[in-house]
C-alpha cells in the first residue's frame, strides 16, 4: 500500500519583540557553531603539526 505524503506551507508573522528574539537566537547559534569550528580546526592543526614533527624529529623538512 503506497504511503501518502503531505506538505504544509505557512508563513510566520512575528512581532517586533519576537523578531528580535529570533535574531538573537540565530546570532547565538552562529557564535556557538563558529566556536566549535575553531576548536576542531585547532585540533586538526595540532594533529598535523604533531605528525610532521613525529616524522621529522630534527624539525620540519626543507
Domain count, the chain: 1
Q: Is the confidence at residue 57, as pLDDT, over 80?
A: no
Q: What is the mean pLDDT of the chain?
A: 89
Please report which confidence band the pLDDT of residue 17 belongs to, taking 50, 70 and 90 as the band edges.
very high
Query: Is residue 11 situated within a structural domain?
Result: no
Query: Is residue 31 situated within a structural domain?
Result: yes
Under 8 Å between Cβ of 14 and 22: yes
Query: Is residue 8 situated within a structural domain?
Result: no
Query: Is residue 62 situated within a structural domain?
Result: no
Query: Is residue 49 situated within a structural domain?
Result: yes
Query: Is residue 7 situated within a structural domain?
Result: no
Range of the domain at 23: 16-56
| Grid cell for residue 21 | 528574539
Amino acid at each position: 500500500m503506497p504511503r501518502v505524503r503531505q506538505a504544509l506551507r505557512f508563513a510566520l508573522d512575528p512581532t517586533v519583540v519576537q523578531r528580535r528574539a529570533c535574531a538573537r537566537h540565530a546570532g547565538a547559534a552562529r557564535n556557538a557553531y563558529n566556536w566549535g569550528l575553531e576548536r576542531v580546526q585547532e585540533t586538526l592543526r595540532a594533529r598535523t603539526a604533531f605528525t610532521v614533527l613525529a616524522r621529522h624529529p630534527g624539525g620540519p623538512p626543507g
